[in-house]
Chain A
Amino acid sequence: MAADTSPSRGPIVSPSFTGATTEHKATRWTLTLIAVSFLLLVIVLPLVSVFAEALSKGFATYLAALIEPDAMSAIRLTLTVTIIAVPMNIVFGVAAAWAIAKFEFKGKALLTTLIDLPFSVSPVISGLVYVLLFGAGSVLGPWLKAHGVEILFAVPGIVLATIFVTFPFVARELIPLMQEQGTTDEEAALSLGASGWQTFRFVTLPNIKWGLLYGVLLCNARAMGEFGAVSVVSGRIRGATTTLPLHIEILYNEYNVVAAFAVASLLALLALLTLGLKAAMEWRYGAEIAAATRH
């Protein structure tokens, strides 16, 4: 012990020594600078300009653009669509992830691919699919119309298109997580006498709750912001079938730039809120999330 404390036996480290993965100072600064300036130019600047443009004619004009009846109707519609589409995708997503991660069955690879389909096809095509399915020339459309059900150019069509486009978010988030966690926790619960539902409620769900929450946040942000697919099926009846993104486009096309940016700023705020929520969650429950995702 005495030898260990004597100063002459202390570790000798050359001052110029750096770890194998430690970069030179100049390299670090250059890389950071590139990243930050790119972020400023491509993301922060446009975002700031949205708010700047929206408030360019004062707060009163800004507010007026938001409380005008068509804008209010667009906000209502967007919220309605989101409130229907997100819970449905939670149910579908959890069910699909559960099936893929915990069971072996024929056609599993096909199902996994299908879940990714909305990510890989253009949203416009996603909308067109519903036009083909429920349009005037289709079999289903006229029949449903005869029975008093409007799908296309009405709320149900917009909801369907939104569900289609946002379907992968929850499932994609959960599948790798559930696959990694395996089935032993569930088997343990079953062996202790738990029913299938109790196992899901008390074991599976708590294990995936953080992944699920991420998926829901992302799904929510996309559901509110979806433009392409919704634009095809909505028919853009002002004050009736225009969601927030569609309303923004209409205003912009009418050269009502300030109003367009005012409504856009609202959407941007929603997106920022979502990100803020995610960050807050990570900060508050960081340790717990790490514990849940690692074994």
Chain B
Amino acid sequence: MDVRVVNVKKEFQRFAALHDVSLDIRSGELIALLGPSGSGKTTLLRLIAGLESPTQGSIYFGDEDASTKSVQERHIGFVFQHYALFRHMSVLENIAFGLRIRPRATRPNAAEIQRRVSELLDLVQLSGLQGRYPSQLSGGQRQRVALARALAIEPSVLLLDEPFGALDAKVRKELRGWLRELHDRTGHTTVFVTHDQEEALELADRVVVMSQGRIEQVGTPDEIYDTPNSPFVFGFIGESNAVAVSVNSGQLYLADRPIGLHADGAADGDATLFFRPHDVEIVTGPGPSIPGVVVGTRRHGGTRRIETEVGASGQRVEIDVSVDATIGSTGRLALRPRRWRLFPSVPLRG
């Protein structure tokens, strides 16, 4: 089902958690709400679920205005960071809960419920554990039970709040791939909250980057990574360098020397140049470039990371070069970003 968030504002007492947020979620999409803590991502998720009500604005499920509906009426599946399994109920009872509490008219019979539970246990790969209690399961298993429980009521939208946040790195990675697979198989419209950019970029069809109660950017992982539209997104997603430069009639200058980059249409004055460590070339021939002093090199996975200082005030810039490159022997190098973006004014780094 499509979900549309329209001009939603949320205030807790006097603190504004969300300012005027709008978002279209397409049917069947797997979407990530990504941001640092306090960015409002969980609040947005809880508003969609109906666990909170917006101070202003509305939320549509399909063509229906769901803003006035209670959480029960919205028919969503919600998965909590700390599972929120009912600890006095077995796995079977947990998964069956949403079906068993239905009024008699719409409640499936016992055999049907048992069939559905078995099916879901298969789906989450926990067959045979239906008699266990939550305390007898590992974290990863608990979260899968929580997911099966949410899926049991055949929700119109599946909402997950930091679903892997409480798990260790290995289980996390495993569950990530598994959730993607599950989504492809069941096709539920799914929204999940995460502060882990790797998780968001790897898993989601589209990523919503949030900061301080606002949506900074919405796009596919490629769009978010390759064309960040604000200093915040550039700083928050992936690694980046920020260098203070000045613009004069479309030419970029660093410490009054042209660096060979042209930004047509950029306003004259101070600006910040953003680029990623791996989007930099070392300039060997003549021509304008950014001169840097090497202050250190480190092995960084399959590449070598070189730390340099550039400009008069010694701004720190990191660049990635191949492991066998012979750079750094002279202590100086000239570099030029291949891909970069210019943002006016002083940015904040994520």
Contacts and interface: CB of A to CB of B under 8 A. Distances in A.
Contacts of A192: 97-98, 101, 149-150, 152-153
B164 interface: no
B51 A187 contact: yes
B80 A193 contact: no
Contacts of A187: 51, 71, 78, 80, 84
Nearest to A192: B98
A6 interface: no
B82 interface: yes
A22 interface: no
A193 B98 contact: yes
Nearest to A191: B78
B72 interface: yes
B178 interface: no
Contacts of B77: 191
A206 B150 CA distance: 21
A284 B195 CA distance: 44
Contact of A193 (B82, B86, B102, B135): B102
Interface string B143-162: 00010011011000000000
Contacts, number: 65
A189 interface: yes
Interface string A181-201: 000110111111111001000
B316 interface: no
Contacts of A195: 72, 101
Interface in B91-127: 97-98, 101-102
A291 interface: yes
A103 B350 CA distance: 35
A102 B75 CA distance: 23
A52 interface: no
Contacts of B84: 184-185, 187-188
A193 B50 CA distance: 12
Interface residues of B, number: 26
Contacts of A292: 87-88
A231 B133 CA distance: 50
Interface in B134-184: 135, 146, 149-150, 152-153
Contact of A191 (B49, B87, B88, B133): B49
Nearest to A185: B84
A201 to B, nearest CB: 9
- A interface SS class: helix
A193 B153 contact: yes
B101 A194 contact: yes
A202 interface: yes
A202 to B, nearest CB: 7
A31 to B, nearest CB: 35
Contacts of B152: 192
Contacts of B75: 193
Contacts of B101: 189, 192-195, 198, 202
Contacts of B82: 184, 295
A207 interface: yes
Interface in A198-220: 198, 202-203, 206-207
B261 to A, nearest CB: 51
B71 A190 contact: yes
B72 A190 contact: yes
Contacts of B78: 187-188, 191
Nearest to B46: A187
Contact of A189 (B76, B88, B97, B146): B97
Interface string B211-248: 00000000000000000000000000000000000000
A185 B87 CA distance: 9
Nearest to B82: A184
A291 B135 contact: yes
A202 B75 CA distance: 19
Nearest to B136: A291
- The winner among A188, A189, A291, A295 for most chain B CB atoms within 10 A is A188
Contacts of A184: 80, 82, 84
A184 B146 CA distance: 12
Nearest to B80: A184
A203 B71 contact: no
A295 B81 CA distance: 14
Interface in B36-89: 49, 51, 71-72, 75-78, 80, 82, 84-88
Contacts of A189: 86, 97, 101
B109 to A, nearest CB: 17
Contacts of B146: 188
A42 to B, nearest CB: 39
Contacts of B135: 291
B88 A193 contact: no
B313 to A, nearest CB: 49
28 contacts: A184-B80, A184-B82, A185-B86, A187-B84, A188-B80, A188-B84, A188-B86, A188-B149, A189-B86, A191-B71, A191-B76, A191-B77, A191-B150, A192-B149, A192-B152, A193-B101, A194-B72, A194-B98, A194-B101, A202-B97, A202-B101, A206-B86, A206-B88, A207-B87, A291-B133, A291-B135, A292-B87, A295-B82
Across the A-B interface, the 6 shortest Cβ-Cβ residue pairs:
A192-B98, A188-B84, A191-B78, A184-B84, A206-B88, A194-B101
Interface of A: 184-185, 187-195, 198, 202-203, 206-207, 291-292, 295
Interface of B: 49, 51, 71-72, 75-78, 80, 82, 84-88, 97-98, 101-102, 133, 135, 146, 149-150, 152-153
